[in-house]
A = this chain, B = another copy of it.
Amino acid sequence: MTINQNTFTGEYSYSLDAKGRVNIPAKFRNVLTAENDQSFVITRGMDPCVWVYPIIVWQSIEDELRKLSSLSQVNRSFVRSTVRYASSVQYDKQGRIAVSPNLIEYAQLEKEVLILGMVNKIEIWNPALLDSADKQSQEIDSSQFDELANQIIL
């Protein structure tokens, strides 16, 4: 029996090489379906990290965006901010994708990077930033955090 399709979990420590390439963990590659192939959409995360979507997941986001009327200023602005930094990439024979200098700068990536599975997408972090970002948000919104934890039976 196979894993849930397109579900990413776990944390992996990899290195960003001199050419700006990072490995996609083998476990993630196996999760992808045939339609997903080797195509991803890479973009800015809402946290200081890089988001990597399997193409199939990204397409469903695009479908949602299509529904938003351009008559609304907020809609226009939202679509713009969502799509602006997104570009499609494929992984090479060794399972690596290239991260653009833009994104490397945005997420402040250095040699050592942390790859996180986030259910339907993948995050690439500078390990130092991840810890502080998460600690912060859990402290600030600790009551909301607890509420979520109570709703979901682990």
Contacts and interface: CB of A to CB of B under 8 A. Distances in A.
Interface of A: 1, 3-4, 7-11, 27, 34-39, 41, 46-47, 51, 55, 59, 61-62, 64-66, 68, 70-71, 73-88, 102, 116-121, 123, 133-134, 137-138, 141, 144-145, 148-149, 151-154
Given A74-B145, A82-B152, 7 more contacts: A47-B76, A61-B153, A65-B152, A66-B119, A73-B141, A76-B137, A77-B137
A38 B55 CA distance: 25
Contacts of A121: 70
Contact of A148 (B9, B68, B83): B68
B10 A83 contact: yes
A13 B149 CA distance: 31
A27 B88 contact: yes
A55 B117 contact: no
Q: Which 4 pairs, one residue from A and one from B, show the smallest C-beta to C-beta distance?
A: A10-B87, A1-B37, A9-B83, A9-B86
Contacts of A133: 77
Nearest to A144: B74
Among A10, A55, A61, A86, chain B packs the most CB atoms within 10 A around the CB of: A10
A46 B59 contact: no
Contacts of A137: 73-74, 76-77
Contacts of A51: 154
Contacts of A119: 62, 65-66, 79, 83
